[in-house]
Amino acid sequence: MPMKLHLHGKRGVDLLHDPRLNKGTAFSDDERDALGLRGLLPPRVTTPAMQLSRVLGNIRRKPNALEKYIYLISLQERNEALFYRRDHGQSR
The tens digit of pLDDT for each residue in 60-86 reads 999 999 999 999 999 999 999 999 997
Asked which of 31-35, 55-59, 88-92 is least confident by mean pLDDT, the reply is: 88-92
16 exposure class (CB count in 10 Å sphere: 0-12, 13-18, 19+):
buried
The tens digit of pLDDT for each residue in 39-64 reads 999 999 999 999 999 999 999 999 99
The DSSP symbol for 46 reads: -
